[in-house]
Amino acid sequence: MRKKILITGENSYIGKSFVSWLSAWPGEYEVDTISTLNDEWKAKCFSGYDAVLHVAALVHQKEKPCLEDLYSKVNTQLVVDVAQKARQDGVGQLVFMSTMAVYGQKSGVITPETEPVPTTMYGKSKLDAEKQLEKLAGEGFVVTIARPPMVYGPGCPGNYARLSRLIRMTPIFPKVVNERSMIYIDYLCEFLRQMIDKRLGGVFFPQNREYVNTTELAACIAKSYGKRVRFSRLLGALVKVLPLGVFRKVFGSLVYDKAMSGDFSYDEMDFAETVRRSAEGWQRN
């Protein structure tokens, strides 16, 4: 029996990627998308859908105090409104794309005992949404919350895109020893497919099987573009001590304990291959 899935946030990177991913199983899934940029989505009947994947969000914005209400409106209240409608219309599952940012950590290891203490409007609004969604779970309504780390892949926005552009522009790059949790977009899509197939509820932490070293990532990106880059230990030592949050975010270590991520059944490729495919996708775009 085909599963019917509704994606709220039709122009999101993850949403479009998920639609493309499910096209590999044309007889098993029927997928619709809907915009949430205005209130027209409220007129749509959600009845008949097995799951709603909510990926609409305010992200990649320079945070200013004047945006706090907008973050709350888009990343919290809209999520709750969509979930309430899904439950009222008889949908069995709501999958919510949250974020690692709910923890507020800039470095270290996140374990099952780590308490979320978000420090950004983005992280706070996502955690507020999670808390409201947990109250709606039950009585046949499954809530699935995913807190992925940095996502990368062809055409992705955000930090990976900025790093990729930097590598293509610079002849020298810091050599550092660090570890970061990341997830390739195809892995995230497969993870979401499995969550819907198995109708699993709770909070989940999808990530690549292996942690990523920023210097190795840069080397893979450079190789994918046929570019030669020198890696400097001196520059690596410098960026470690500079009092700038952007350097700590890129060159520091921040990971999920691997035990939090389950069996990694969605991770099937060599890391360098995922970077190569990402670069090819960027070149096509």
Q: What is the CATH number of the domain that holds 36?
A: 3.40.50.720
The Cα angle at residue 178 between residues 106 and 232, in degrees rounded to 5: 120
Residue 85 within a domain? yes
Residue 285 within a domain? no
Domain that holds residue 41: 3-154+181-209
Record the tokens describing residue 226, joined without a space: 């046929």
Is residue 245 predicted with pLDDT exceeding 80? Answer: no
**Between 256 and 279, the higher pLDDT residue:** 256
Return the pLDDT at 69.
93
Element (H, E) at 247: helix 245-251
Is residue 182 predicted with pLDDT exceeding 90? Answer: yes
What pLDDT digit, counting tens, does each position of 28-43 carry? Answer: 999 999 999 999 999 9
Residue 241 within a domain? no
Fill in the amino acid letter for 103. Answer: Y
Return the pLDDT at 210.
94
Lowest mean per-residue pLDDT among 78-87, 156-165, 171-180: 156-165
Sorting pLDDT into bands at 50, 70 and 90, what band is 281? low
Return the pLDDT at 168.
86
Alpha helices in 101-242 (DSSP H): 121-136, 159-169, 185-198, 214-224, 233-241
Sorting pLDDT into bands at 50, 70 and 90, what band is 86? very high
Residue 222 within a domain? no
Return the pLDDT at 20.
95
CB-count burial class (<10 Å; 0-12, 13-18, 19+) for 66: exposed
Residue 145 within a domain? yes
Number of structural domains (the chain) is 1
Q: How far is CA 10 from CA 16, 81, 102, 143, 187, in A?
A: 7, 17, 24, 20, 20
What pLDDT digit, counting tens, does each position of 74-84 carry? Answer: 999 999 999 99
CA 133 – CA 94 distance, rounded (Å): 9
Residue 104 within a domain? yes
Residue 22 within a domain? yes
Whether the full predicted model's pTM is greater than 0.85, yes or no, is yes
What pLDDT digit, counting tens, does each position of 187-216 carry? Answer: 999 999 999 999 999 999 999 999 999 999
Residue 197 within a domain? yes
Sorting pLDDT into bands at 50, 70 and 90, what band is 246? low
Return the pLDDT at 282.
54
Find the Cα–Cα–Cα–Cα dihedral 236, 241, 247, 250, rounded to 10°. Answer: 60
Task: Give the residue-averaged pLDDT of 64-70.
Answer: 88
